[in-house]
Amino acid sequence: MLILETAINRYLALDPEMLEKLAVFEGKVIKMEVTGLGRALYLLPDKRGMRVVTEYEGDSDTTLRGSVLSLFKMGLTSDTAALLLRGEVEITGDTRLGHQFKSVFKQMDIDWSEPLADLVGDGIAFQLHRAGQRFGQWARHSARSFSDSTSEYLQEESRDVVTETELNIFNDAVDRLRDDVDRLQKKIQSLQVKQD
């Protein structure tokens, strides 16, 4: 796991603001269960980066469960509703934390010019960086256009997929229900203790 952890932290270091963003998750544990492999990884973010372990004694705050491909797709797509509704990825526990954690990675802003300059020199790195930016803008625009068209069809025309707003409302309701059940359980336990 040390190799994976090192790779993740090197990637995170490419965005100077990333460690600051991860600091808000300090003390949280995100469990990633990879179906088909029977493996689980525990991600422990903090202000120094990301620790990755295969065993963790306590409970995780959020669990993401899916195949390697589904978890990878979840990291790339901005609309996770389709993956969740098709059952490709399951989020249990604190769903809001899972969505906030994914959102931080979606906001990564990497300046590739310095690592490229170390490899190929300043002049070529500058040209590659500009070409990469133009290609990235075109790719994002094309992907956004395709995604918007597909989402609009699935959400408005065929009604096969709920909107992100509807999914957020559902997730909030599930979180409230879980909290209410926890409070009810504590109240029942308290009444049982008094009765005994």
pTM beyond 0.75, yes or no: no
Contact assessment for residue 56 and residue 27, using Cβ atoms and an 8 Å cutoff: no
* Residues 77 and 156 occupy one common structural domain: no
Domain count for the chain, please give it. 3
Q: How far apart are CA 183 and CA 22, in angstroms?
A: 30
Q: Which of the two residues, 180 and 109, has the higher pLDDT score?
A: 180
Q: Which of the two residues, 46 and 4, has the higher pLDDT score?
A: 46
Instruction: Provide the percentage of residues in the chain whose pLDDT is more than 90.
Output: 9
Tens of pLDDT, residue by residue over 103-129, are 776 666 555 555 556 666 677 766 666
* Residues 1 and 95 occupy one common structural domain: yes
**Which residue range(s) make up the domain with 179?**
163-196
Q: How many residues does the chain have?
A: 196
C-alpha 138: how far from its chain's center?
A: 24
Using alpha carbons only, give the angle 51, 79, 160 rounded to the nearest 5 degrees.
135
CA count, 13 A, side-chain hemisphere, 84: 22
Q: How far apart are CA 138 and CA 146, in angstroms?
A: 12
* Residues 49 and 88 occupy one common structural domain: yes
Tens of pLDDT, residue by residue over 20-71, are 888 888 999 989 888 877 788 898 988 888 888 888 988 999 888 888 777 7
* Residues 136 and 185 occupy one common structural domain: no
Q: How far apart are CA 161 and CA 158, in angstroms?
A: 8
Q: Which of 109, 128, 146 is the last residue of a domain?
A: 109
Give residue 171's pLDDT band: very low, low, confident or very high (50, 70, 90): confident
* Residues 99 and 173 occupy one common structural domain: no
* Residues 34 and 24 occupy one common structural domain: yes
Report the pLDDT value the prediction gives residue 154, as an integer from 0 to 100: 65
Report the pLDDT value the prediction gives residue 69, as an integer from 0 to 100: 74
Domain with residue 104: its CATH number is 3.30.1050.10
